[in-house]
Chains A and B, each alone.
Chain A
Amino acid sequence: MAVTTAARAGAPAVALRRNRRPLNYYLWRAVSLWIPLVFFLVFTLGPFWYMLVISLKDQQLEVNDPAVFPFWPFHPNLNQFEDLFARTQFPRWALNTTVVASISTLVSLTFGTLAGYALARLRFRGASLLGIISFVTYLVPQTLLFIPLNIVITRLPVPLFLVTVVFSTVAVGLPLLLLVVPPEKRIGWGPLAGWLPGILLFGIGVALGLWGLTAKGAALSEIELGGATNLSNTLWALILTYPTFLVPFCTWLLTGYFQSIPRELEESALIDGASRMQAMLRIVVPLAIPGILSAFIFAFTLSWNEYIYALVFLTSTGNRTIPVGVVNELIRGDVYFWGTLMAGALLGSIPVAVVYSLFVENYVSGLTAGAVKG
């Protein structure tokens, strides 16, 4: 309050002083701020402008003629975008990417929340070692293990239907718990009370849908519920492996976040007769939602953008994600359809850009969590 009044009282004085600023001030401001700022903006955003222009240009008249000024579309049209949807499998790649990114993100958030809470709050043997392991695996780049991991994918039999049900139940249950039911409504309910059967049923429904979508082209009627199969060329190869780099990150980020929430809050809940699980689900997790959002936006962009696992583990054209599909299926031989390529690149970037713009602050705090908090 005191600060605002002081600022208001000072405002006219500042305005007066601004009128008397010498030319030197504006020169200095241009050199130290505006010129470098414009340079950095052109440097970072220029390529996106260029992509947009190429995707809108008339390909024959403009793109393939080096004598035409390249940074403006003189005959703008949407033909490239039409081609992308009509002549390539882009819609299918978009669906694949959405399914993979959403499920692996939600599952990683759940696993990371549980592990992060354990590491932040509970005393058990090996806790600090597990903390180190989660930090180290978060730093391990995907390019270190993709060859042996591909062998695991092509040879390890996995009870795929069981995994489908578990993962979709977790993925469906988490947003239901956090978003549909407001925290104050959940206080006083038993552990997940009436929700668990519903979530389970809904999860099985989603699982069946996913099964049809992601398994090796099996029709729903041919499902062998108990059978085990390898993951080669199924989207499950990605849904199961993306959490290997998402879970350590979420765990590490959320451990830090949980530690910043005062212990007293859950201790009073424990004294009132809540179990540890209840204290965690009803007191700590709702308070950690900003941290969980940071982890969410990070996990979502990382899994949407992932390239090498998607390139190696999936082999058929229909099973691509957007980054691999656009780069590897639209560039064939020596003929480049630059407009379609840029249209695909732009459309494939828009979902992450939108999600990011909705949660910029959470993203930046996640980005700098390690660096600034230490």
Chain B
Amino acid sequence: MTVQSTAAGRVVRRRGMAASSVALLDRENVLGYVLMTPALLLLIIFIAYPFVLGVWYSLSDVQIFGLGKFIGLTNYTNLLNSPVFVQTVKNSFVYTGFATVFKLGLGLGMALVMNQAFPFKNIVRAGVLLPYIVPTALSTLAFLLAFNPTLSPLPWVFGPLHIPYPPAGFLGDPASAMGAVIFVNVWRGTPFFAISLLAGLQTIPQDLYEAAAIDGAHAANRFVHVTLPLLTPVLTIVLLFSIIQTFADFQIVQVLTRGGPADSTHLFATLAYQTGMQGGRLGQGAAVSLFMLPFLGLLVIAQLWYTRRNASER
């Protein structure tokens, strides 16, 4: 207390008029709000306000202009009765589920492989993360050509393996189109899993493995009883984060299929874009987006709870 007041006293003597504002800024409960203000202003104008607006729009019949009039839950019940929307809900869970399982499996494998010592390790580690770094919309273009019916290079790969290439291309029929967009998502997201899990693996103390080896544990045992338990915190956080991003994905589907063929690859975001922006039914589009909220909310709460629990344990 005395320290603070002498510091303030010196400043007063030195600065005179400006000192009162400086002294005010030295009070933590004033400075705290001052430093938070720019960030908070942005979030209030461009997150909180649009969110409230979005909820209102989803309850109204607004088109391009005006505020529309209140129509209750009609937008939501309309959606639930629309086959396209029901299809979209199914697609979103199929897309998220399959993509996440593959990303987790491949990512864990990649992390374990890269956790060994080998030459040029840093360059390799930097290189494999590229799919996650570069603009997704742009890298997806390579797959747009690769899945093309006539110009695809895949028959050159599939031919020798005697796998038939679908004559309409991979994006031509519903099942293979869903497989194709999932594949691109896995390609993009696996490096994120791998590099995060690799960082997690590197925090596991080596002597634990040595102790387990001395106790006679084989590689598989060591993985199940040492690696997995110690990797779980990282794994959970990476997993939750990835599920949130995958569930709300937009770019890959928008570039490859725009939701087609026959709405078989529509996700919430692409359907919201089609309904709200291209179709001009803003209220309906906002409702499609907001349908993501319960599931996303659960994931965010789980993430928050888990992160804070981990932080308090240390």
* A interface residues with partner B (beta carbon < 8 Å): 32-33, 36-37, 40-41, 43-45, 47-48, 50-51, 54, 63-64, 66, 69-71, 110-112, 114-115, 117-119, 122-125, 127, 130, 132-137, 139-152, 156, 191, 240-241, 243-244, 247-248, 251, 270-271, 273-277, 301, 304-305, 307-308, 312, 322-324, 326-327, 336, 338, 341-342, 344-346, 348-349, 352-353, 356-357, 360, 363-364, 367-368, 370-372, 374
When the two chains form their complex, are residues A111 and B126 in contact, meaning their CB atoms are under 8 A apart? Answer: no
Enumerate chain B residues within 8 angstroms of A274, measured Cβ to Cβ: 7
Report the stretch among B82-90, B113-121, B171-179, B209-217 that lies at the interface: B113-121
Residue among B11, B22, B129, B135 making CB contact with A322, cutoff 8 Å: B135
* A145–B50 CB distance below 8 A: yes
CB nearest neighbor in B for A154: B64
The smallest beta-carbon distance between A130 and chain B, in angstroms, is 6
Judge whether A36 and B109 touch: CB under 8 Å: yes
Closest Cβ of chain A to B188, distance in Å, is 10
The digit string for B28-55, where 1 denotes a CB below 8 A from any CB of A, is 1111110110111011011101110110
Q: Which of B93-101, B136-144, B220-228 contacts A (4 or more CB under 8 A)?
A: B136-144
What class of interface size applies to chain B in its complex with A? 35 or more
Specify which of B40, B128, B200 is in contact with A44 (CB 8 Å cutoff).
B128
Residues of A within 8 A of B192 (CB): 367
B151 on interface, CB distance cutoff 8 Å: yes
- 20 residue pairs bridging A and B, Cβ less than 8 Å apart: A37-B118, A41-B128, A44-B190, A47-B146, A115-B38, A123-B29, A123-B32, A124-B32, A130-B40, A143-B250, A152-B49, A240-B46, A247-B42, A275-B22, A312-B277, A322-B138, A326-B137, A345-B141, A346-B138, A352-B134
- The answer to whether residues A41 and B124 also contact, given A115-B36, A141-B244, A327-B141 and a CB cut-off of 8 A, is yes
**Chain B residues within an 8 Å CB radius of A145:** 47, 50-51, 54, 289
Q: Whole-angstrom distance between the alpha carbons of A276 and B7 in the complex?
A: 10
Cβ contact within 8 Å between B25 and A147: no
Q: Name the one of B106, B127, B269 contacting A41, with C-beta atoms under 8 angstroms.
A: B127
Q: Which residue of A lies closest to B54 (CB)?
A: A148
Nearest B residue (CB) for A136: B300
Nearest first, the 10 A-B pairs at minimum CB distance are: A124-B32, A70-B153, A141-B248, A148-B54, A374-B310, A143-B269, A349-B134, A118-B35, A345-B138, A368-B199
- In the assembled complex, the Cα of A360 lies from the Cα of B194 at a distance in Å of 15
- Tell me if B286 and A148 are in contact (CB < 8 A): yes
Which of A48, A124, A308, A352 makes the CB contact (< 8 A) with B33?
A: A124
Interface residues of B in 288-314 (CB under 8 A from A): 289-290, 292-293, 296, 299-300, 303-304, 307, 310-311, 313-314
Contact A348 B138 (CB under 8 A): yes
- Taking a contact as CB atoms closer than 8 A, the residue among A71, A324, A342, A372 that contacts B199 in the complex is A372
